[in-house]
Amino acid sequence: MNDLGTPPGDSAAAFLATGLSVSFTASDLDASVAWYRDGIGFQVAQVFEREGTPFAVRMAAGSVEILLTRDNGAKGATRAKGEGFSIRLTTTQSVDAVAGRVKQQGWALDSEPADQWGARFFRLRDPDGFRLTISSEADPDTQRSR
C-alpha cells in the first residue's frame, strides 16, 4: 500500500468529525451576503455586530452554514482570498435550476452544469474568489459512461 492508504495502528484512534464549519473573509460584506442570498439562495441566519456595525453574517442553506466576516484590512486590502481550495455543496435540488438562478442575478459560472463522476455539478466563485462546486447525483438515465 502507498503512503495515501490507511495509517497503521488502532482504527478506533481515527478522527471522526461530525460537522464542518466554513468562514470566508469578505472584502465587501454586503456584496457577499447578497451573492450568497440572491444568487445561490442561502438565508441570513444571524448577523453579528460590534458597536452597531455588522462584522459577520451566518448564512444557512438547509443544514449547511457559511460564516462571512468583514475583512478588517489588517492583512492588507489586496491580499489574495480563495486560493488553493474549493468547497463542494451537495443538494437534492436541480443543479441546473440553481445555476440558472445564479446567472439570472448576473453572476458568472466557472463551468456550466455537466454530468461527470456520477454527479451533476457546476463551478463558480464568490465575489472574493472563493471557489464553490454545487452538485447533486446525476440522473442515471442521462449519465454517460466515462
H helices of the chain, in order, are: 29-34, 95-104
| 25 in any annotated domain | yes
Residue 144 maps to a domain: no
User: b/e map of 29-65 (b: 16 or more CB within 10 Å)?
Assistant: beebbebbbebbebeeeeeeeeeeeeebbbbebeebb
Domain count, the chain: 1
pLDDT in tens, 15-53: 777 778 899 999 899 999 999 999 999 999 999 999 999
Q: Is the pLDDT of residue 145 over 50?
A: no
Tell me whether residue 8 is in a domain: no
Query: Kind of pairing, strands 119-125 and 64-70?
Result: unpaired
Q: Is residue 7 part of a domain?
A: no
Query: Does residue 108 lie within any of the structural domains?
Result: yes
pTM for this structure?
0.78
Which residue range(s) make up the domain with 61?
A: 20-72+82-137
> What CATH number has the domain bearing residue 52?
3.10.180.10
Question: Does a structural domain hold residue 12?
Answer: no
pLDDT in tens, 73-131: 666 666 676 666 789 999 999 999 999 999 999 999 999 999 988 899 999 999 989 99
Q: Is residue 9 part of a domain?
A: no
